[in-house]
Amino acid sequence: RQAENQIKSLSKFPSENPHPILRILKNGKILYKNKACDVFSKVWDCDIGNSIPEKWQGFLSKAISSEKTVMFEDKYEETYFSFNMSLVEEMGYVNVYGMDITSKKQADEKLRLYSDELKRSNQELQDFTSIASHDLQEPLRKISIFSDRLLEIDNSFNETQKGYLGRMGKAANRMQALIEDLLKLSQVTTKGEPFEKVDL
């Protein structure tokens, strides 16, 4: 609503408006343009009496048939514009209000690139976590397996030595469980289960 009120206010003084304003007849012929429309002159001839670009015709038909404001975007050279096209039935023409949205488009593109880079970085981190987890668990498995085998095949150990071997195997198992839990924790956001109600 604020944007529409601002457009209405600026439309009272179209020649002073820094944004492009056009008035076009229902047949697509230009009835009026302000100075800001000169930005389009390098791409199409927007002089009074000439036709609007062919790609605008569909938007014009929609604005006339629906009697609602039609919004669309278009690019001229390196500049992006957002347009509002609305029918003024009592006057028999359609108003077109343009606004330069290049900075917004550039910001959106930067955000998209940043998002893609973040996804790539997260994937690399997940791959690294998975590999590191596997490599860290391997020596722990060896410690656990060989300590168990020593206890099984050699009866020459006294109780104290057997206790050391048993504690060493248990510590290796605890460390292996800790690594597995850390791996699961790192995958919570990507492989997490959907929320569900539980009995507390």
pLDDT for res 193: 73
d(CA 136, CA 129): 10
The amino acid at 116 = D
Alpha carbon 134 to its chain centroid, in Å, reads 33
d(CA 33, CA 14): 8
Mean pLDDT, residues 96-121 taken together: 87
pLDDT for res 15: 64
d(CA 90, CA 182): 69
Mean pLDDT, residues 113-119 taken together: 89
pLDDT in tens, 152-200: 876 778 888 888 888 888 888 888 888 888 888 877 766 667 788 999 9
In 3-state terms, what secondary structure has residue 139?
helix
Is the distance from CB of 143 to CB of 196 less than 8 angstroms?
Answer: no
In 3-state terms, what secondary structure has residue 133?
helix
Q: Which helix (H) or strand (E) holds 122?
A: helix 102-153
**Residue 157 CB partners (closer than 8 Å, separation 6+):** 150, 151, 165
Q: How confident is the model at residue 134 (pLDDT cuts 50, 70, 90)?
A: confident
Q: State which of 34-48, 101-115, 120-134, 174-188 shows the largest mean pLDDT.
A: 101-115
pLDDT for res 199: 94
